[in-house]
Structure 1
Amino acid sequence: MKYYILAIVIVSGILTACGGSKKIVSAQPTKDIAIAEKDITERKAPEVETDIIDTPNTPIEEAKEEIEEKEIEASVVKEEIVKEILKPLEAFDHTSYGDLVVKYVSPEGNVDYDGFKRNWGVLRTYIKALGENMPTDQWTKEDKLAYWMNAYNAMTVDLILRNYPLASIKDIKDPWGQRFWKLGQKYYNLNEIEHKILRKMGDARIHFGINCASFSCPPLLNEAFTAQKVDTQLDALARRFVNDTERNTITANSIEISEIFNWFAKDFKTNGSVIDFLNKYSDTQIASNAKRRYKDYNWSLNK
């Protein structure tokens, strides 16, 4: 009986020891995991270099930059197009008159009056349109110049056709005083357009833009004046007329020039003398004391 009790005690001790041992072994991994988690939490992340490294763009980045550049270019082009669209249009459309003079006036200014007469209706329709669309205060100076010079030249051709055939405009009684053309609420003549309107605009070059249907006049331009081009057109006509040896003979010390420079001397002296004006356009520079004469005016029809 003693031995039996002893055995039971020994077995109980062993079991108790084993149970405790099992418990200790079981708790060890939990402790290790907690320590690892704490170590991870407290551990500092490695420092990263903050310097910018110049590395090549990826294909996607390059494509994005190219798209952005194209968008900027498109924006600039769009802005230019908008500016062009918003640019003021010609106050009056002189196309029909331009088509006629291109067809019936040579580059030298010789006029095919027979051709004009075959299309007289087109010319009269243009003059009628002028009368229905007179300049307003909102028109630019260039629009007004183009309007009145085209009007003068178209009416001069119309005057010749009313009396055609003839050898000279002077064969017509009071040619510059005839009031055939209604513009707005009144009838105009060539004198009024030239002296009361065009000359008062203060640009002497108009004398090279309007044509009196005569050989000694500045040649009739074979295109319509337009607001966009009128300044360039008048400059070209001034240079052409001054250096035209059939209408002016110019040397450094002697000039024989058109009567136009005598009849309208006041217009050519607004910024100096007549010679100063001539020197702006002459291929030959003229001395200020050059001898001066005026050519006889040839009133023969410019055909």
Structure 2
Amino acid sequence: MRLVFAGTPDVALPSLDALIASRHEVVAVVTRPDAPAGRGRRLAPSPVAERAAAAGIEVLKPARPRDPEFLERLAAIAPDCCPVVAYGALVPRAALDIPRAGWVNLHFSLLPAWRGAAPVQHAVLAGDEVTGASTFLLEEGLDTGPVFGLVTETVRPTDTSGDLLDRLSRSGAGLLAATLDAIEDGTAAPTPQPADGVSLAPKLTVEDARLDWSQPAFAVDRRARACTPAPGPWTTFRGERLRLGPVRPLPDAPALAPGELAVDRAGARVGTATVPVQLDQVQPAGKRAMAAADWARGTRPEPGERLG
């Protein structure tokens, strides 16, 4: 089939690579417009745009997928199908109707669980033991279309959302390629999503990533892992924001009050509503990330001094 691939960030690259290597023909990609990046905040193309350009594939960067110029170009390309992975914009009906086989979305959850922009983060935050990826026919609703196929993935006890998304992006790429093969062969059988088991996964904000030391250690651990690498877990110390990495519950450590900071040769620990947690890496405002123990020894916290 002739494909127009829609995607933007790094997580879409395994799927793009798999489709370029498949029996199908990727004739163009659709991606978000160039955006400021790096310290200089210069405009830079998306990872998908860069990969497509290197492969000699036409790159379309509409400000909005409903722009007439984009719709005209997409119709002229006449794709058979448009696979989608983390494109980052809503596809209007006028675009959905162009490819004969529709738009096939790879979504990183077991639908109908975790519909929305941040399914992997919410799976980690909720303490799910198993998640996965789904391919489904894109509709105007939020991740509501019939499902072609699923792959499952175990959520490991120390997984960050970045770790889990990396694995899902690779297993999901195989699922997406297999789904397109089945569509071309006429063997695809999309199944309507059940009405039960629906959960929503809105984008996590910076405020969502603030750690609450009055919660149990397992909840602090989940939130820190769910928000790594983005938007990045954080707290405050002496009135300034302190960005953190994942934490590790310490069931055998001496008790500390919620938010209380303790430093010794074993490292830096913080109290929660249950057991303390070990800090791994911290990044003070305006500084580079560093080992939490090094930061704590440098700041010399007073006895009983607290984070948050």
- State TM-score, norm by structure 2: 0.22
By relative contact order (CA 8 Å, sep 6+), the higher-ranking structure is 1
Larger radius of gyration: 1
TM-score, length of structure 1 as denominator length: 0.23
